[in-house]
Structures are given as C-alpha cells and as structure tokens.
Structure 1
Amino acid sequence: MPSMIEAKNVWKTYGDNVVLEGLDIKVEEGEFITMVGTSGCGKSTFLNMLLGTQQCSKGELLLDGKPIPKEPGPDRGIVFQQYSVFPHMTVLQNVMAAKAFAKKGLTGYLFGQAKRAAKDEASDILNQVGLSHALNKYPHELSGGMKQRLAIAQALLGKPRILLLDEPFGALDPGIRADMHELVLTLWRKHKLTVFMVTHDLKEGFYLGTRLWVFDKLRQDPQAPGAYGASITYDLPVGQVDKATYEEIDDNLRPVVELA
C-alpha cells in the first residue's frame, strides 16, 4: 500500500524565484505534522499544494499513490488564521452553508430532508467544538477563539481525511491557544484525521502532533536570494528531541543579532 501522502523530488518555483526544492517525504494516515520555519520559506505554499490550489513545478505530490487533484475537495479541509465567515449568518447558518456549497447544482440551496439533515449535522459538529451555546449568535458577537472554533467546524463538516491548518492560532491569546490545542488534539483522535499544521511557534510545534518539520534553505546566495528554495532540514518525532537540537532549531528560526 502506498503512503497516504508522498512527495517525490518536489520543487515549486515562480519564474526565477525558487520557493521549495527537492522535497522527498512520506506521511502515513493518522499522522499529525507540524511545520515551522522563517517567514517566506514555503510552509504555506506546501499546504496550498496539499489543498490543490497550487501545483508542483517539478516532481510529484501524491495522495494514495495518485497526483493530488488540482482543486480543493471534501477530503481536505482547511482552517486559516483569518476567519472565513458570512457576517450576516448565524453560527449555525455559517456551518450549514458549508454543506450547501458542497452540494452539486446551480443554487447550492438545501431543502426539506436535506436541510434538516444538514442542520442536525452542523449542530453536532458545533457541539464537538464547544459552540452549542452559540448557534444563534452572529460572527461579530464571537470572540477570536469562538470564531476559530467556528472555522474548524466548517472544515470538519465535510468529513475530510486531511485537515490543513495555516497558523490557525497565531492571533489568539496564550490561554485561548491552550484550549484550542486540546480541542484540535481531541478532534484529531476522534475523527482519525491526518493533520498538517503551519505554526511560527516552535513550542507549539513540539507540543502538538507526531512529527515536526523544519523548512529552511540549505543554500544561500546573497546576490540572488531567490535562486535557491527551502527543503525540510529536520524531520523529528515529537517528544523525542534533546535540548541541544531544540535550541539549535530555535536559533536558526530566531537568530540573535550581536551588537557591536
């Protein structure tokens, strides 16, 4: 059986600008991958390639042994740092809308039994993310953490196999982030998801999931900063990393500038 996700010598370029180069990885179903690296090193680009909104410039990115479709599908749900909600709809209506848009047809409207089923399904997933008390609230009435719970509910409604998280907790306060960590871990286990999460927080990367990837450039040319792309320089099992390795990665992500 092929691995769920496999990258074979994957490159991503935009004209002369090389963003990613030579990615060779395998991910089995049920893993939780956290991705860290400096801004602009290609983490979100790789996430979008998994989603299907961007494609490889060279190499192969495979899902179950076949090229990832060139468009998003219900098997891949995504949550961004910026909330994607309809301000004129309630929490319940926003989640039901995600179901309606997945419906084939000209209007995307739900009627009769389909509408009742969508309402029950949306209510259930909102209960799982801790928003059962807020079904009739509007987005402007929600805190940041509640809005992110809503976004996760929208992503999970289609019953995806893969959940993609692009810095979902970057704008949240530390206490709320801790609550969201527990929620994501609970949903990962309950729904048997395969998760890829981009974060700028190294501690968060080591706390969540099963593997940590560090994206960085192995080659640099000061005269041509776009000549080389990032690769995965570390692929580490979470919970089995010694302090020296952690500090080395942290120094690479946040270099200390010595004052003269």
Structure 2
Amino acid sequence: MNPMIEVKNVWKQYGDNVILENLSTTVYEGEFITLVGTSGCGKSTFLNMLLGTVNPSKGEILLDGKPISDEPGPDRGIVFQQYSVFPHMTVLENVMATKGFQAKGITGYLFGKKKQQAKQEATSILEKVGLDHALNKYPHELSGGMKQRLAIAQALLGKPRILLLDEPFGALDPGIRADMHELVLGLCKEHKLTVFMVTHDLKEGFYLGTRLWVFDKLRVDHQAPNRYGASITYDIPVGQTDPALYETIDDEIRPITANAS
C-alpha cells in the first residue's frame, strides 16, 4: 500500500527564525496522528502546511504522490479551538454556509435544488454530531461543547479525506471532552478519515491517536534560540509505549522546575 502523505525534508523559517527543520515521514490512509510538544514548537505550523495556508521554505509534502495543494480545499477539513461560526446565522444556516462557500460564484448563495440538497446534507451531519435538536438555535445559545460539535459538522460536510484538529478540545470541561473524544473516534471510523490533531494533553494524544508525534528541537543554541527548528523526535505507535518513555515525553512537554510544589 502506497502512503497517502509523504513529508520530504521539510523546513519552515521566517527570516532567521527557523520553526521546523528537516521533517521527513509518511502517513497512510486511516491513521490518526496526534501531535504534542511545547508551545511554539511548530505543531500548528505543520498543520497549516497540510491545510495549504503555509508553504514549506524547503522540501515538499505530497498527497497521493503529488504536491499538496497550496490552498485549502474540500479534501481537507479543519477544526480550531476557537469556534469559526457566524453569530448571525442559526446552527443549520452555519453548516449550509460551508456548502455555499464550495459552490461556484462570488456570493456563495445556494438556490433551488442545490439549497434543498445542502439543507438535507447539513441536517444529516448535524444529527450525527448530536445537534439535530438545535438546528434553529444561534451560536450564543450554545454551550462550548455544542459549538465544537457545530465546528466538526462544518468540517465534515465537505466530505474531507483529511481532518485537521488544532487543539479542538482544550477549552472544554473534562466530562464534555470525554464525550467529544467518543464522537470524533466514531466519526473518524464511519467516514474513514485520516486525522492530524494538535494537543497539549499527552494522555489525550495516546488515547485518540494510532501514532503520536513529539515535536522538539534536536539542536539548541542558547545564544541564538531561533537558529534551529523543531523536528519529530518521537514517532510512537500507540499501544507500544514503555511507561518510562511516556514519563520522559511528559517531562519534556511539561518540565517540572526545582521550585515546583
């Protein structure tokens, strides 16, 4: 089986500030990759390269053997921690708008049969994420968990092959996060998605992912901290992790200072 995504010697830098250096890896269809690492180590930058909003400074990312599109497309859906919804639209209208933006034309408006089809598809996906009871509610009437379900529905309506999640559950309470975990795992299995998810929660990364990537710098220059970028320092198949390695990674992500109580 050929890999779905190939990352070949990818670097990203802004001027003298090196964010990522020499990333090389492959991902197969249906894998769930979780990305962990300290803040500012380039996880979200890599996610945006997959989305097409950021281009590598060097190297290339291939999708099905061809350079990945340098602009977002329907084959890639994304969910952020901050909810990207229109406050003046209902839940149903927000999801239908996603379909409208994919239509040809300047306005993104849907008419006739296309509008009716979009309404049916939006209603169906909202039912799957548990929002069929809130079709006519506005975003300010929704809880945090409901807003995140709405964002997931928006991302899935375009029937993407790849789902990109940028700390989607970081602002949610533990109980709601657990519900969202089950929802995402179920949807990923049903829609046969390939997933990349950035998280600061190592336990969440191990629970949801089939592979866990740790982003960190292999080289450090204390006189010029931006001279070197982060790489994938660990690529771990979930379920094959020695407890000592788990503790090592956890300490790298959340280092304990000598003064910590």
TM-score by length of 2: 0.98
> How far is 1:259 from its partner?
3.3
Deviation, 1:257, is 1.1
Query: Which residue of structure 1 aligns with residue 53 of structure 2?
Result: 53
Alignment of 1:240-259 (within 5 A): 240-259=240-259
2:52 is aligned with 1:21: no
- 1:64 is aligned to 64
In the other structure, the counterpart of 2:40 is: 40
* Cα distance per residue 1:85-118 (max 9 Å; x no partner): 1111100000000000110112211111111100
Report the more deviating stretch, 105-114 or 124-133.
105-114
Q: Which structure 2 residues correspond to residues 155-174 of structure 1 after superposition, within 5 A?
A: 155-174=155-174
Quick check: 100-109 or 79-88, which moved more?
Answer: 100-109
**Partners in 1 of 2:121 and 2:63 — Cα distance?**
27
Following superposition, the deviation at residue 144 of structure 1 comes to 0.1
**RMSD of equivalent CA atoms:** 1.0
Q: How much does 1:2 deviate?
A: 3.8
Q: Which residue of 2 aligns with 1:130?
A: 130
CA distance in 2, matches of 1:83, 1:259: 37
- Deviating 4+ runs (over 4 angstroms): none
Uncovered stretches (5+) of structure 2, i.e. residues with no partner: none
1:135 Cα shift? 0.3
Q: How does 1:91-240 map to 2 (within 5 A)?
A: 91-240=91-240
For this pair of structures, how many residues does the alignment match?
A: 260
Shift of 1:9: 0.6
- Using the alignment, how far apart are the partners of 2:3 and 2:10 within structure 1? 16
Residues in 1 aligned to 2:28 and 2:141: alpha-carbon distance in whole angstroms: 40
Paired letter, 2:183: L
Partners of 1:259 and 1:77 in 2: CA distance: 43
For residue 142 of structure 1, report the CA deviation from its aligned partner.
0.1
For 1:73 and 1:194, how far apart are their aligned partners in 2?
15
Deviation at 1:60, TM superposition (A): 1.1
Residue 78 of structure 2 aligns with an amino acid whose one-letter code is I
- In structure 1, the partner of 2:3 is 3
- d(CA) in 2 for partners of 1:207, 1:42: 22
Equivalent AA in structure 2 for residue 237 of structure 1: P
Distance (Å, rounded) in 1 between the aligned partners of 2:152 and 2:91: 12
Distance 1:86 1:123 in 2: 17
State the AA in 2 paired with 1:246. Y
Identical amino acids, percent of aligned pairs: 80
Instruction: Name the residue aligned to 1:77.
Output: 77
TM-score (norm 1): 0.99
Alpha-carbon distance between aligned partners in 2 of 1:61 and 1:112, rounded to the nearest angstrom: 40
Gap runs ≥5 in structure 1: none
Partner SS, residue 73 of structure 1: coil
